Amino acid sequence: MGGIGNAFGPHPNNDASFNWGKTLDQFQINGGKRLKGTIRVNGSKNASLPLLAASLLTEGESVFRDLPDLSDTNHMMYLLEKLGVSVSRGAEGAIRVQVEDELNCHAEYELVRKMRASVCVMGPLLAKRGKAQVSLPGGCNIGYRPIGLHLQGLEALGADIDLVGGDIYLKAKKLRGAEVFLGGPFGSTVLGTANVMMAACLADGTTVIECAACEPEIVDLADYLNRCGAQITGHGTPRISIEGVDQLRGCEHQVIPDRIEAGTFIIAAAITNGDVKIENSRLDHLMALIDRLRIVGVNVERSADGIVQVSSSRRLEPVTITTQPYPGYPTDLQAQVMALLCLADGNSVITEKIFPDRFVHVAELNRMGAKLRKEGPTVIIEGVKNLVGAPVMASDLRASAALVLAGLIAKGTTHVSRVYHIDRGYDRIEQRLAAIGADIRRVPS
C-alpha cells in the first residue's frame, strides 16, 4: 500500500493524536478587521470524494491534481487503502491511486460513520468486484439523509440487496443497463447519481438516469470517467446516458475549484466590507449566489486575467433566498449568507428546501446578537447594526464557516469550538484568512 499514514498525517483509526470528533482546538477571532488581498480556492471537496471512489473502477494508475488536503479526503483515501488501493502523494501534491488488491469489499461502520460520502464506494465496488458491503451511514447534524434512491438505482441495474446488522450487502454477477429515476422529495440526489453513474459504466448495455443531479461535481466525475474510457453523455443535465464498457483505465485529472469554498470567501469579503481577489474560482458555478449578492449590494466581477474581485457597499439590502438543487441557490452556502444578512438593513427570509432541519447555527448566531426567528423550514432575519463576540459551538461543516464569518465582523472576541467540523471542508482556513487581514488563530480550548 502507499502509506497514507506517512503521506497524509495520522490515520484516524490508529493514532490517538488524531482524536476524531474530540479535538479541543478552537478558533479565536478578534472581529472588525477588513479583509484585503488575494486568496486561492482549493480543489472541490465534494468532487474529490466520488472521484477517489471512482478509481476503484479502473485498471492502472490515476493521478488527481489539486485534490484538497482535508480530513474528509484523507478519510476517503484511508478507506481506499482498506479496500486494496495504493495511495501516495506525488510531486506538487498530486495524489496517485492504483488498485492492487480486490479482495476486500467492506466499507466498515467506523469509517462510514465519520464521513457519510463513504457510501459512494458502493456503486464502484459492486460494478467492478461483483459485491459490496457498506455500513448504513445513519443521520447527521443537518438532518436525516436516506440512501434509498442509491439502492433503488443499483437494484434497477440488477443488484441483489440485503440489510444485515446495519450493513447493506449488494451482489451481482454482471450489472445490466436500465432506466433509473432518481428524483426524491427534496430533488435529485447527488451522491445517488454518482453511485448509479459509476456502476453503470461497467454494466452491459445502456443506462439512462432521469432526474439526475446537475451539480458541477457530477460533471467533473463524468469527465474523469470519460477520460478513463467510459461513454457518458448528458452530464450536467437531468438526463444522463451511460453506455457500458468492458474496462476503464486510470488517467490524470484536474479537480474543479471548490464552489462552496469560493462562495464562503466571497461572503467573507462582503461581510467585512473588504477588497479581496479570489484565484481559481468559477463564477459560472456560483450564479445563484452572485444573483442574490448583487441585490444585497455585493459586487462580484471577474477580471481579464480570470481573478474574481469582490467589494461591497456599506449598506446591505435585505433579500429573500430559497435553497434548491443546482443551479439554484446551494444549501451549502445557506448558513454563510445568513451570517451576512444579519447585518442587512431590513428583514431577509431564507427558506431551506434541501435539508429543512439545517438550522442549528441559528441559535449560535443569536448568541452573537443576531435577531433570527425560525418558522419551520424558514428563518426570518431582522438585520442588526452589529454582532458581538461570544463563545459559540460549531455543529456541522457549513455552520462552522458561518460562525467564523460572523466572528470576523463581531465586536470583541469570538471563540468557535469544535472546529474539526470546519477542517472537513476547508484546508487551514484560519491561516488563509489571516493572510488577508483577519485576526484569527487556532488555539487549544
CB atoms within 10 A of CB 359: 24
- What distance in Å separates the CA atoms of residue 222 and residue 225, rounded to the nearest whole number? 5
Specify the pLDDT at position 2: 46
- Grid coordinates standing for 129? 468486484
Helix (H, G, I), strand (E, B) or coil at 80: helix
CATH homologous superfamily of 4-42+257-444 equals: Enolpyruvate transferase domain (3.65.10.10)
Specify the pLDDT at position 312: 84
CA 307 distance to own-chain centroid: 23
Specify the pLDDT at position 114: 78
Specify the pLDDT at position 313: 76
DSSP 111-173: HHTT-GGGGGGHHHHHHHHSEEEEE----BTTB----HHHHHHHHHTT-EEEEETTEEEEE-S
- What distance in Å separates the CA atoms of residue 69 and residue 307, rounded to the nearest whole number? 23
- Grid coordinates standing for 81? 487503502
Strand 36-40 relative to strand 275-279: parallel, antiparallel, unpaired? parallel
The stretches of 228-329 forming alpha helices (DSSP H) are: 259-271, 287-296
- Among 295, 301, 304, 294, which residue's Cα sits nearest to residue 275? 301
Structural domain boundaries of the chain?
Answer: 4-42+257-444, 45-254
Element (H, E) at 200: helix 190-200
Could you list the mean pLDDT of each consecutive 10-residue stretch along the chain, which spans 445 residues? Answer: 42 37 80 96 97 98 96 94 94 89 93 86 98 79 70 97 93 97 89 97 98 98 98 98 98 97 97 95 96 96 85 90 97 98 98 92 98 97 98 93 98 96 95 98 92
Give residues with Cβ within 8 angstroms of 263, minimum separation 6. Answer: 286, 289, 330, 332, 333, 336
276-296 exposure pattern, b = at least 16 Cβ within 10 A, e = fewer: bbbebbbbebbebbbebbeeb
List the catalytic residues: 140
- Grid coordinates standing for 97? 491511486
User: Between the CA atoms of 75, 3, 6 and 105, what dihedral angle is there, to the nearest 10 degrees?
Assistant: 20
- What distance in Å separates the CA atoms of residue 32 and residue 169, rounded to the nearest whole number? 53
Phi-psi region of 245 (alpha: psi -120 to 50; beta: other; left: phi over 0): beta
Domain 4-42+257-444 shares a fold with domain 45-254: yes
* Sheet (strand 25-30) strand order: 391-393, 413-417, 25-30, 439-444
- Among 291, 329, 233, 261, which residue's Cα sits nearest to residue 42? 261
45-254 has which fold? UDP-n-acetylglucosamine1-carboxyvinyl-transferase; Chain (3.65.10)
pLDDT in tens, 257-267: 999 999 999 99
Q: Can you give the length of the chain in residues?
A: 445
